[in-house]
Structure 1
Amino acid sequence: MSAGYPFSAIVGLADLRLALLLNAVSPGVGGVLVRGEKGTAKSTMVRALAALLPDTAAVSGCRFSCDPAAPDPACPDGPHDAAAPGETRRARLVELPVGATEDRLVGSLDLERALAEGVKAYEPGLLAAAHRGLLYVDEVNLLHDHLVDLLLDAAAMGTAHVEREGVSVRHAARFLLVGTMNPEEGELRPQLLDRFGLTVEVAASREPRERAEVVRRRLAYEADPDGFAARWAEHDAALALRIEAARALLPDVVLPDAELERVARVCAAFEVDGLRADLVTARTAIALAAWHGRTEVEASDVRQAAQLALPHRRRRNPFDAPGLDQDKLDEALRDEPEPDLPDDPDPDPEPDGPDGSGGSDRPDGPGGPGGPDQDGPGGGGPGGGPAPQETAPPEPPRNASSDAPAAEQPPPARESTAAAAAPEQPAVAASEPFRARLLAVPGLGQGAAGRRSRAETGTGRTTGDRRPSGPVARLHLVGTVRAAAPHQAARGRRGPGLVLRRDDVREAVREGREGNLVLFVVDASGSMAARARMRTVKGAVLSLLLDAYQRRDKVGLVTFRGAGAELALPPTSSVEAGAARLAALPTGGRTPLAAGLLRAHEALRVEHLRDPRRRPLLVVVTDGRATHGPDPLGAARRAAGLLAAAGNASVVVDCESGPVRLGLAARLAADLGGPVLGLADLAADGLAGLVRDLRAAG
């Protein structure tokens, strides 16, 4: 087996390197979440860290790696004899795959043996294997939320619990947790982000020499893995020794009250929720001091700790990017806050000059470079010279097909005659989003856990029972007793106990909620821009995107205008990407409704092959007009029939406004087999404000 890539040989990524080493020194920091684009050596660095971790002593034969010096009294493999022989193990690197089940993560109980034989047959999971080692979760943002909750609970509490119908097992689970993710594939919920101690953003270097060095070292490693690792072995050994020394020093590190107050001041300045940020920042600062061989935390430690512990706790809505304002951080770190400026803008005015001008002879008085009249008419320019020529106001926007200002253009003609010549309009900002009503897929699904449509899930209310097709994960006790009761006499039952057979066991059927694929098909043609409705339409779609984020959906975006349609955003878990594409969406041209529907049909077909259990919800945002092609309305109706025949659930959002309405969106909804909603009907509350926006746009 060839050697792994050495930790010391990785080029750049200084923040990630430090965050991982600090967690190796003090696992109490709470782990690291690594965010970054693909191909940035995130996984390589995490796997290389495991080789630097000190060896651990464990009780021989214990599946839970109990420490011989202090064995866990509740260990399922215990009790352990204090004189039992121990063994030395390398620190384990355990990887949690995205498709893991709850039983694979926390372990499972054999409920059939527990009922029939009265024994606790427990099979440890990955949390047990990772105890006193490193647990690595690649693509943690794609892991089901309930698994992330279990994972972070175990990391915070240091124990894992398995509960099955009154039978429970507990074991120690303390590990260094590292998760990696590509934000383009979706974000973690803020509650889950907060549970990671530190977060680091990584990106590939744009410096050619550094990129060349990365490639050079990688090629050298692939040509001779063992030889390459040997060349870096001394560097890795030095890091491993430094980790051990910092661990030994950690209990002696002191956090002075002045630095603790600095930690609290920084966290308060950035308005982070709760006190977890304060604890993590303090622990990180202590680990930093130990890493640098000091026994007292300094201000520089607090600053570096804040830069690692606070950025992901600053998000106020799902579309905010993590980050810190460096100026605000500097201000919060100051020993003494600056006093507030008085309300009087000139508390110590100069005595009036001979002409009563109030000090006009000062170098920066009126007419000087710093005076209040500097930029006004007749004001001096920089350095006291003549004022630069005043910049002319911007010209009114011009129509692409005319030299006259837009304000002088005649009113738009009917779309049937002018849509072909409608120019492309620049993207407009979305109106203020609102809380959207629930749009759900009819029927009962079996997709990924979420919060939108009814589905058969592992959690939720119990609706029935059935015979299990594999290992029993959710025992239905009443159903099991009911199945066994008629056979007790034939089985020779003589006492109060129930005679059970394997065929009697029933598992619970539970109903919860699933996440769906919400595919938006947005009309960006000239008819949307002509009535100045795009701002309101974008606000409505943005509101639905926010709703999709909260309900853990995948989203996609198809737009159509001019002569065709495009898949502006392939189905993804990143609603942030959907919001960005929506913000940059221009409008103009004819209305190729049929092309938009056919493009949506193709996108849904391809996505069904990739993820067949996730049911789609098609949201068509249009006024129902179709003006492109020889038979535009007929082609649109045929495309709608194709989508309906494929069994796709759909909702049409009618954007038509004005006193005269054609009702084309309602006809489209009938062809799709779904309901039609007006823009104002999308809001769960606050309808009055949206109606006002619609009236203003119309």
Structure 2
Amino acid sequence: MSTPYPFTAVVGQSDLRLALLLNAVSPAVGGVLVRGEKGTAKSTAVRALSALLPQVDVVPGCRFSCAPAAPDPGCPDGPHEGGSGTARPARMVELPVGASEDRLVGALDIERALAEGVKAFEPGLLADAHRGILYVDEVNLLHDHLIDLLLDAAAMGASYVEREGVSVRHAARFLLVGTMNPEEGELRPQLLDRFGLTVEVAASREPAQRVEVVRRRLAYEDDPAAFAGRWAGDEQEVRARVVAARALLPQVRLGDTCLLQIAATCAGFEVDGMRADIVMARTATALAAWAGRTDVRKEDVRRAALLALPHRRRRNPFDAPGLDEDKLDEILDGFPDEEPENEPDPEPEGPDDGGPQDGGPDGGGGGIPPQGGPEAPEAPEAPAPDAAPENAPEAGPESPDSPAPQPASQDGAGREQAAVRAAEPFRTKMLSVPGLGEGASGRRSRARTAHGRTTGAQRPRGQLTKLHLAATVHAAAPHQKARGRTGRGLVVRKDDLRQATREGREGNLVLFVVDASGSMAARQRMGAVKGAVLSLLLDAYQRRDKVGLITFRGSAAELALPPTSSVDAAATRLEQLPTGGRTPLAAGLLKAHEVLRIERLRDPSRRPLLVVVTDGRATSAGSTGSTGSAGAAGGDPRALAGRSARLLQAEGVASVVVDCESGPVRLGLAGVLAADLGGPAVTLDGLRADSLAGLVKNVRTASDTHRRAA
């Protein structure tokens, strides 16, 4: 086993390290969700935490890590006799994104259970993580049903495996830690709420700190054992402090004033439910124990709020996580401080105390750098936030309601056209792709899934997971005499087992193709268009879709956002979308064809839904910028657009056209485009009506049309 990177050698990220250590002191806090960009030591810090946890005593031979002093009475390996245990380090178990349900909760041998009445159970990762850490990297990419199982086990402290009336239960208490990059998609709000604390991490912009990160990482990779040895003293100090804080935790007093502060804070920030209050109380108590105190103070409540509330404030994926600290201080200042009961002054805060040679694990204490290199140069002093460069023109007066400055573009006549804000989003009904898919679990179109209503039975492909009991008995019944059955038991063999086929919902790829040409540049119309797309993006978030955004204007089409699960990234690109220039409709459709072709290779089971937002005009052939599909460089633009649309229809792509044409004279070109695509068209004025959802829901692909004609 390779030597892990030391926890105390992580540079910066004080909030992350404190949140992890508070959960090590009090696992009842409920775990940590770490959000941040790639390359910010999220995984490094989590993996290093296990070395700081105290050893655990386990019953020898128990696969479920039962404690000898208080074994689980329902342990599948029990009952356990009293006696001494065996000490071992606390485990850190990683849950892969692609893990199966059986790998997570364990597998039950259904064949032996039916034929022999034996509960033959193979433990899963939840059993391995009992009394340790369960780490989920990229938790936002985990399938919904796995997240539900994981968080239910974390909340109840036990895991249940049910297979057609045969059940196994075992204890599963662990420190749950998840990491995620928000650019790749968000967790649902109800799942965010199940994590006790959340931390936002980002790479430092200070050159000196970045130098220290590189220096330490290179030293670790050159000689991991020697590097870990230099930090062994600090690791032992933090480990001892965790043990001491755990022992002190039961003595910490949470007074009525602090409880009122917690309740007022949660109410003031309009946090849903009561989980936030409980998590804040536990976190504030752990903070006091970590500081070596037996009383909770106002500063503990404030720090607990900053860790426990930001992710519970989000109402939709377009809200930025965070907490208004001025408002928090205003709420807390309305309460008097509780008098400490003969307690010493608190120690310096958090896990930043001490470090080899430089006075702190951040390497930013100003002493000699830990690897013996030259002293890091001081970072240049940053200008004051309000400072303006010399000779800069003064800004004119601005209305409080004025929109923020937006990028500018040119219309067809070359005039500058500033990007406009989207209108308020509205609720849409479900958009779905016809037919029955087999894509990733979601909430949009019908699909064959591992979860949902049972629609039939089939022989299992691989390991049996969902037994169809009636079909299994029906398959085994004719052979009972030949198999020498005696008594009341049913003789079942492997060939008799039948897997239940289930129908649920899948997530789709919703690809938006948005006309940003000069003919769309009217501020009111473009604002309404953006509002409509924003509404559909919000719907895509709720239904667990991937989304992509293609824009076309001038002489080319651009993939503004490659297909992703991050709808807030799509909303940001949409908000900044400029307009102006000619209308290369064919290029936009060809770009869509190219993107869908590539995505079909990457994820062949995810079905697409194409949403084209345009007035139907085509004034330029344009180019997609790729040699493979940019053949629209010449010829009649409208004819090229028609051929591109019919190409998408021939490949069975479900489509809908949002007609943005306005004015007293309408050419009806969007309707012609919709016919070429084989889908419906809806006017911009009807986007808020139920008709849009009905039209999209009833999209018929070209293959459906061909079947009806046959």
Shorter-chain TM range is 0.7 to 0.9
Matches within 5 A, 1:151-300: 151-300=150-299
Q: Per the alignment, do residues 100 and 681 of structure 1 end up closer, same or farther by CA in structure 2, a change over 3 Å counting?
A: farther
Number of the residue aligned with 1:318: 317
Contact 1:424 1:587 survives alignment (8 Å): no
Equivalenced residue count is 613
Residue of structure 2 in register with 1:35 after alignment? 35
Give the Å deviation of 1:494. 4.7
Q: How far, CA to CA, are the matches of 1:195 and 1:80 in structure 2? A: 33
Deviation at 1:681, TM superposition (A): 4.2
- Tell me the amino acid that sits aligned with residue 608 of structure 1: R
What residue is the counterpart of 2:470 in the other structure?
478
Q: 2:432 aligns with which of 426, 440, 445?
A: 440
Deviation string 1:435-464 (CA, Å, 9 cap, x unpaired) is 112221111111111110000011111111
Q: Distance in 1 between matches of 2:522 and 2:230?
A: 68
Partner of 1:46: 46
Name the CA distance, whole Å, in 2 between partners of 1:428 and 1:390: 21
SS of residue paired to 2:656: strand
CA distance in 1, matches of 2:522, 2:262: 54
Greater gyration radius? 1
Report the counterpart of residue 20 of structure 1 in structure 2: 20
Instruction: Give the corresponding residue for 2:683.
Output: 678
Are the structure 2 counterparts of residues 391 and 652 from structure 1 closer, same or farther at C-alpha, using a change threshold of 3 Å?
closer
Q: 1:680 to 1:488 in 2, by over 3 A?
A: farther
Secondary structure at 1:628's aligned position in 2?
A: coil
Shift, 1:392, TM fit: 8.2
Distance 2:434 2:497 in 1: 31
Per the alignment, residue 708 of structure 2 pairs with none
Of residues 155-164 and 498-507 in structure 1, the stretch that sits farther from structure 2 once superposed is: 498-507
Cα offset for 1:419?
7.4
How far residue 662 of structure 1 moved from its aligned partner, in angstroms, is 2.0
CA distance in 2, matches of 1:302, 1:472: 49
Counterpart of 2:457?
Answer: 465
C-alpha distance in 2, partners of 1:390/1:625?
Answer: 40
Equivalent-residue separation in structure 1 for 2:396 and 2:567 (angstroms): 41
Q: What per-residue deviation string (whole Å, max 9, x for no partner) do you get for residues 491-522 of structure 1?
A: 34454433322111111100000001111000
1:529 deviates by 1.4
Going from structure 1 to structure 2, the CA distance change for 1:674 and 1:4 (only over 3 Å counts) comes to same
| Counterpart Cα distance in 2 of 1:282 and 1:292 | 16
1:423–1:526: 8 Å Cα contact kept in structure 2? no
Structure 1 unaligned regions, length at least 5: 338-388, 395-417, 688-698
- The correspondence of residues 586-625 of structure 1 with structure 2, limited to 5 A, is 586-625=578-617
Q: Return the letter of the residue paired with 1:245.
A: A
Whether the 8 Å contact between 1:31 and 1:178 is mirrored in structure 2 is yes
- Does residue 451 of the first structure (1) align with residue 456 of the second (2)? no
Q: Would you say the 8 A contact 2:90–2:131 is kept in 1?
A: yes
SS of corresponding position for 2:431? coil
User: What is the letter of the counterpart of residue 571 of structure 2?
Assistant: A
| C-alpha deviation, 1:555, in angstroms | 0.5
One-letter amino acid matched to 1:198: L
In structure 1, distance between residues paired with 2:688 and 2:536: 9
The aligned amino acid for 1:639 is: S
- 2:383 aligned partner: none
Q: Which residue of 2 aligns with 1:101?
A: 100
TM-score normalised by structure 1 residue count: 0.85
Measured after TM superposition, the shift of residue 206 of structure 1 is 0.3
Q: Which amino acid is the alignment partner of residue 323 of structure 1?
A: G
Contact 1:30–1:176 (8 Å) recurs in 2: yes
Q: Is the 8 A contact 2:511 2:610 kept in 1?
A: yes
Deviates more, 1:677-686 or 1:545-554: 677-686
Cα contact 1:590–1:627 (8 A) shared by 2: yes
Classify 1:175/1:632 alpha carbon distance in 2 versus 1 (closer, same or farther; 3 Å).
same
The 5 A counterparts of 1:242-641 are 242-336=241-335, 420-421=412-413, 423-530=415-522, 532-629=524-621, 630-641=635-646
Q: Which amino acid aligns with 1:668?
A: L
Whole-Å separation in 1 of the counterparts to 2:317 and 2:612 = 23
Per-residue CA distance 1:283-324 (angstroms, 9 max, x = gap):
000000000111111111111111111111111222101111
Whether the 8 Å CA contact 2:548–2:570 is kept in 1: the answer is yes
Q: Supply the AA of the counterpart residue of 1:219.
A: L
Match of 2:159, SS state, is strand
Aligned to 2:8: 8
Q: Quote the Cα distance in structure 2 between the aligned partners of 1:468 and 1:253.
A: 55
User: Shift of residue 676 of structure 1?
Assistant: 2.0
Q: Is the 8 A contact 2:111 2:492 kept in 1?
A: no
- Superposition RMSD in Å: 2.0
Structure 2: unaligned runs, 5 residues or longer: 337-393, 400-409, 622-634, 693-710
Cα deviation 1:359-406 (Å, max 9, x = unaligned): xxxxxxxxxxxxxxxxxxxxxxxxxxxxxx997899xxxxxxxxxxxx
2:57–2:87: 8 Å Cα contact kept in structure 1? Answer: yes
Residues 435 and 685, structure 1, Cα contact 8 Å, conserved in 2: no
Q: 1:261 to 1:302 in 2, by over 3 A?
A: same
Deviations 1:129-177 (A, max 9, x none): 0000011100001111121111111111111111111111110001111
Contact kept, 8 Å, 1:477 with 1:506, in 2: the verdict is yes
Shift of 1:669: 1.7
Q: Decide whether the 8 Å contact of 1:437 with 1:682 is kept in 2.
A: no
Cα 1:393–1:146, aligned 2, differ >3 Å: closer, same or farther? closer
Instruction: Give the TM-score of the pair, scaled to structure 2.
Output: 0.84
Report the 3-state secondary structure (helix = DSSP H, G, I; strand = E; otherwise coil) of the residue aligned with 1:51.
helix
Between the aligned partners of 2:475 and 2:674, the Cα distance in structure 1 is: 47
Range with bigger deviation, 492-501 or 637-646: 492-501
Paired position in structure 1 for 2:58: 58
Partner Cα separation in structure 2 for residue 229 and residue 524 of structure 1: 56
- C-alpha separation in 2, matches of 1:442 and 1:391: 54
| Helix, strand or coil at the partner of 2:501 | strand
Retained in 2: the 8 A contact 1:435–1:684?
no
Q: Using a 3 Å threshold, how does the CA distance of structure 1 residues 437 and 531 change in structure 2: closer, same or farther? A: same
Partners of 2:261 and 2:335 within 8 A in 1: no
Structure-2 change in CA distance of 1:680 and 1:459 (3 Å):
farther
